[in-house]
C-alpha cells in the first residue's frame, strides 16, 4: 500500500460548503400527466411527486467541462460532503489529464494573462447563480489530492 500526492493551481470561485451546488426540486414519480400541484394519486394515495436534492451542474464529478474550460474541482473527490469546491480553470496541471489543455497550444505552467483571468471570472459569473457569487472568493487556489 502506497501513498501519493499531487497538486495543481486553479483560478476560480471557491464555494463552501459544496452542498450549495445542490438544490431541492420536485421530481416526477412514475409516468403521469399530473401537474406538481397534485402531489398524490387520488385513487391509490401514492405520491406523484417527491422532493429530491439535484445538482445545479451536471459535471460527472469534474470529468467534463461545465462551460468552455470551466470545471468543478473537489478536494480528494469528496463530492457533496466536501467542505468546499472551486469552479474554475486549472493551471500548472498535467496537460494529459486536464481538459483545459486538450487540443490547445497552451502548456501546463503557462502563466495566464490578466485578460485570461478576467475572461474566467466573467464566464463563472455567467454560469453560477447570483447567490453563489462572492468577489472575495474568486482567486488563485491551490488544490492537493491524496491517494492512499
Residue 26 lies in a domain: no
Residue 37 lies in a domain: no
pLDDT digit string (tens) for the chain, length 148 residues: 688 777 778 899 999 888 888 888 898 998 999 999 999 998 899 999 999 887 787 655 444 557 777 888 887 655 666 788 899 888 865 545 554 444 455 554 566 778 888 999 999 999 898 999 999 999 999 887 777 7
Sign of the Cα pseudo-torsion (110, 116, 117, 121, in order) = negative
Residue 139 lies in a domain: yes
The runs of H, that is alpha helices, within the chain are 114-127
For residue 129, the enclosing domain spans 4-21+58-147
Contacts of 24-31 with CB under 8 Å at 24 or more apart are 24/51, 24/52, 24/53, 24/54, 25/51, 25/52, 25/54, 26/50, 26/51, 27/51, 27/52, 27/54
Residue 50 lies in a domain: no
75 C-beta neighbours (distance < 10 Å), count: 15
Residue 117 lies in a domain: yes
Q: Which residues contact 66 (CB under 8 A, 6 or more apart)?
A: 57, 59, 72, 87, 127
Q: How far apart are the first and last CA of the chain?
A: 7
Residue 79 lies in a domain: yes
Residue 41 lies in a domain: no
Extract the C-alpha cell encoding 1: 500500500
Instruction: State how many domains the chain has.
Output: 1
Residue 92 lies in a domain: yes
Amino acid at each position: 500500500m502506497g501513498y501519493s500526492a499531487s497538486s495543481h493551481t486553479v483560478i476560480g470561485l471557491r464555494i463552501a460548503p459544496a452542498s450549495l451546488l445542490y438544490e431541492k426540486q420536485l421530481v416526477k414519480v412514475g409516468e403521469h400527466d399530473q401537474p406538481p400541484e397534485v402531489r398524490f394519486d387520488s385513487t391509490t394515495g401514492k405520491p406523484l411527486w417527491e422532493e429530491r436534492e439535484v445538482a445545479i451542474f451536471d459535471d460527472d464529478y469534474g470529468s467534463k467541462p461545465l462551460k468552455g474550460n470551466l470545471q468543478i474541482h473537489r478536494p480528494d473527490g469528496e463530492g457533496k460532503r466536501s467542505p468546499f469546491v472551486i469552479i474554475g480553470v486549472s493551471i500548472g496541471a498535467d496537460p494529459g489529464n486536464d481538459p483545459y489543455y486538450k487540443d490547445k497550444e497552451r502548456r501546463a505552467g503557462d502563466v495566464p494573462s490578466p485578460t485570461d483571468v478576467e475572461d474566467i471570472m466573467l464566464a463563472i459569473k455567467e454560469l453560477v447563480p447570483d447567490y453563489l457569487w462572492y468577489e472575495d472568493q474568486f482567486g488563485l487556489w491551490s488544490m492537493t489530492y491524496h491517494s492512499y
